[in-house]
Amino acid sequence: MPLDTSLSGVSVLVAGAGLAGLAAARDLADRGADVTIIEARDRVGGRVFTIRNGFAESQHGEAGGDMIDQGHEEVRRLTQELGLKLVPILHRGFGYARADSTGRVRIVQRNVARSWTRLAAQLEPFSRLYRLGERRWDTPITSEIARMSVAQWLDDVRADDELRATATGLRGFFLADSEELSLLALIDQFSDNGSPVPSRMSRVEGGNDRLATSIAAALGARVRLGTELAAVSHRGRGVRASVKSGRQTSQIQVDYLLFALPATLLRRIPITPALPAQQHEAIARLQYGRATKTLLQFARRFWRAPARPRAFGSPLPFGAVWEANEEQRGKPGILALLAGGAASNATADVVSREGVAGLARSLDWLGSRDQEVLGWRQVVWESDPWSRGGYAVFDPLFDPRLRGWLSQPCERLFFAGEHTSIRWQGYMNGAVESGRRAAAEIASTHRITI
């Protein structure tokens, strides 16, 4: 049976119009399904959020997902399919900024690779065990590694200041401090993708949200904004969803339901009959990282200097910082500051105490002194009601044997979203891939059961 007709006459409700839900809805519609996609916000894209207002010269910046790496094949494929263009950015990679013994912030090295190599070498005994267990999350080896926090491990190996600073800098990537992060998350990262620092990065020309808005435009009236999934009942041969739109609640009856919501929101939705106990626990227990992203537009791009990177990791309160609109014309330029874990609160504190000027001052080491801030926007993702966090974080209390349950279909219910991806959790690529996977699962389930 050709794929494009295999779901003809089948109705599917997709909850959540982030990249996962939209990628799923697009594939389902292509297969001929009768798709409805509901989204609680008044916009599509979810954690991909391009901010276009508030900046001079029509510049824009990404308040959520920004960099698309070389290996992010699904998101690259989708970009191409939608006729969008990727523009390479930040080709000098990431440098590193740290306070010296006098407290002055300095760019300590041009390339962070050396610090990661040191960290990877220290982790090697655990990485080897993890590889022996074929990187599976259901082995006793993994359970043992998972219980340890990165902070405990640093104490155990009597880490020096440099190693600790490298680990602290990782909160800009994992969105969690060493105490909150399972050692397993770190081992998993280093034993697969190597250094967590992105390489050969790109972003979508005109804004990453074009991925979402292009799909939504093609789906047309099938996308219902301002509509929240409130409850689900999946007895018998169909699924009944209660959806809220303003003050109105209505029921939608479909053949299949695809959840593309962060676990933080999914766990608030009553599902009858309940999901299997382990699946329920996996969704209930999953933590999300704190992340504040600030976009600061300056009158000129003072941070540019010959041979100097335009992106920096740091263990400092402002987090990681990079040029957010290298590909856009104009004299002004935008810096993105991504503060993960405790840095998220620290950044918000600086702004509430000293205003945005205080935050700009903390970039003195890049030359921000006396530079005019033309515009700024800040998103505190843990305070965002429809994400309640940056992205999923595996903490030492999460039982790794539960991970597979996050993506496990249950009868007529299917699950997508960044947090369900094994290889690309925390990335736009994971969202897109998981959406396409869940759409394919529905198609297969349907073919098996008819």
Taking the complex as a whole, the smallest distance from the CB of residue 390 to ligand FAD amounts, in Å, to 4
Decide: 416 and 5 in contact? Cβ < 8 Å. Answer: no
Decide: 216 and 44 in contact? Cβ < 8 Å. Answer: yes
SS3 426: coil
CA dihedral 130, 136, 138, 141 (to 10 degrees): -10
**Beta carbon nearer to ligand FAD, 78 or 261:** 261
Q: Using N-to-C axis directions, what is the helix angle for 161-169 and 113-132, rounded to 10°?
A: 80
Of 61, 169, 262, 315, the residue at the interface with ligand FAD (CB under 6 A) is 262
* Residue 360 found at the interface with ligand FAD (CB under 6 A): no
* Residue 48 found at the interface with ligand FAD (CB under 6 A): yes
- Pick out residues in 172-231 that bind ligand FAD (CB under 6 A): 228-229
Taking the complex as a whole, the smallest distance from the CB of residue 293 to ligand FAD amounts, in Å, to 4
Of 7, 82, 257, 291, the residue at the interface with ligand FAD (CB under 6 A) is 291
Residues present in the chain in total: 450
Name the residue among 26, 175, 66 with its Cα closest to residue 429: 66
* Residue 343 found at the interface with ligand FAD (CB under 6 A): no
SS3 276: coil
* Per-residue binding letters, 392-421, with ligand FAD (x by CB under 6 A): -------------------------xx---
Of 12, 25, 35, 41, the residue at the interface with ligand FAD (CB under 6 A) is 41
Decide: 23 and 14 in contact? Cβ < 8 Å. Answer: no
Query: For 239-343, where are the E strands, in sequence order?
Result: 239-245, 248-254, 256-259, 271-272, 287-288, 291-298, 311-313, 320-323, 333-340
**Beta carbon nearer to ligand FAD, 293 or 377:** 293
Q: Using N-to-C axis directions, what is the helix angle for 113-132 and 183-192, rounded to 10°?
A: 100
Decide: 436 and 74 in contact? Cβ < 8 Å. Answer: yes
Of 297, 387, 393, 446, the residue at the interface with ligand FAD (CB under 6 A) is 387
**Beta carbon nearer to ligand FAD, 39 or 255:** 39
Query: For 290-391, where are the E strands, in sequence order?
Result: 291-298, 311-313, 320-323, 333-340, 373-380
* Residue 27 found at the interface with ligand FAD (CB under 6 A): no
Of 7, 27, 33, 47, the residue at the interface with ligand FAD (CB under 6 A) is 47
- Which of 43-51, 80-88, 150-158, 185-193 is the region at the interface with ligand FAD (rule: CB under 6 A)? 43-51
**Beta carbon nearer to ligand FAD, 400 or 430:** 430
Question: Which parts of this chain interact with ligand FAD (CB under 6 A)?
Answer: 15-21, 38-41, 46-48, 64-67, 228-229, 260-262, 265, 291, 293, 338, 381, 386-387, 390-391, 417-418, 426-431
